[in-house]
Amino acid sequence: NATNDVTAFGTGVFGERKRFEAQAFDGMFRLFDETRGDGVVTFDNTTGTNLDVVSINKMFTDGSAVDAHANAQITYDYYQDTFGRNSVDDNGQILISAVHVGDNWNNASWNGRQMSYGDGDGIRFHPLAAGLDVAAHEMTHGVIQHTANLIYRNESGALNESFADIFGVMVDRDDWLIGEAIMADGTIGLRSMEDPTDLIERRTQAPYPDHWSRRYTGTLDNGGVHINSSINNKAAYLVSEGGEHFDVTVNGVGREKTEQIYYRALTLYLTRSSDFSMMREAAIQAAGDLYGSNSDAVAAVEQAYDAVGVY
């Protein structure tokens, strides 16, 4: 209840000071924020008791816990402020984050109920909770689950992954890279929406594709869900920023219109089995609904999907 809500402080993985809502209880403090929906809660997976991360005072020193908690709050606020959505289910579902999952685990995940973050091995990855775009990526899987619920394999799965990347970079607004803050191996990020072929995908050791003709057609990674997502990522980038791609010129319409177009397509028009071609139609329809059927936005969407070879 409101009386226990406190403002607490902490230092993130990279030492930056943060301030966030937490809760006082039994003379201690815990990473449980009751001011957002039914709550934002963060726990340390190593304690095994599913207890929220606690502190004897208002200063939290577990960097992963501080970052996971603050990033979940930022992502909650993004969905509320940008789309009027109250958490992953639009009904205030509690946002749970677990940190220090696995043994130097070089990954993160959404398991249908919570976000989980590995500490990374310090060679390939820093603690993944430090990535705001990672938290937003994981929470967006929760949003997708409660909306189009795109099947997690082949083209529908690549769209699932692409939406998670799109809203990942929209929350962490500074660039079009996923994971730029958490790479320990000197690469610029995990994936680039601006130039997918700048980076190599780990399983196939191939550059991420930036055109449908370069799609992965194998069975690894559930049919390349983290690989072919880059085709739709490039299209979304072009809708927003514009550019010349495979001899097609796209006149971008900016991040504000792009995030509204993709959110409307995801929540109103896509279904579990939607493929890339349906993604094109859904984005055209959403852009038309929002900005008019003869708008720059509709033109940008058509040009962008032409540019990546999706019709």
Ligand X SMILES: O=C(O)[C@H](CCc1ccccc1)CC1(C(=O)N[C@@H](Cc2c[nH]c3ccccc23)C(=O)O)CCCC1
Q: Is 226 a catalytic residue?
A: yes
**How far is Cα 217 from Cα 126, in angstroms, rounded to an integer?**
31
Of 138, 161, 201, 241, catalytic: 138
Residue from 65, 94, 128, 164 binding Zn ion (CB under 5 A): 164
CB 229 within 8 A of CB 221: no
C-alpha dihedral sign at 215, 221, 227, 231: positive
Which of these segments, 5-13, 28-36, 104-112, 250-258, binds ligand X (CB under 6 A)? 104-112
**How far is Cα 20 from Cα 22, in angstroms, rounded to an integer?**
6
**How far is Cα 23 from Cα 58, in angstroms, rounded to an integer?**
9
Residue nearest to Zn ion (CB): 164
Tell me if 109 contacts ligand X by CB under 6 A.
Answer: yes
CA angle 182, 308, 196 (to 5 degrees): 20
Q: Is 21 a catalytic residue?
A: no
- What burial class does residue 75 get, using C-beta atoms within 10 Å of its C-beta: 0-12 exposed, 13-18 middle, 19+ buried? buried
Tell me if 150 contacts Zn ion by CB under 5 A.
Answer: no
Interaction partner, residue 241 (Zn ion, ligand X, none; CB < 5-8 Å by kind): none
Cβ at position 202, least distance to ligand X in Å:
4
Cβ at position 138, least distance to ligand X in Å:
6
Which of these segments, 33-41, 57-65, 131-139, 266-274, binds ligand X (CB under 6 A)? 131-139
Beta strands 115-117 and 95-99 are parallel
- Residues contributing to the site for Zn ion (CB under 5 A): 161, 164
- Residues contributing to the site for ligand X (CB under 6 A): 106-110, 134, 137-138, 141, 161, 178-179, 190, 202-203, 221, 226
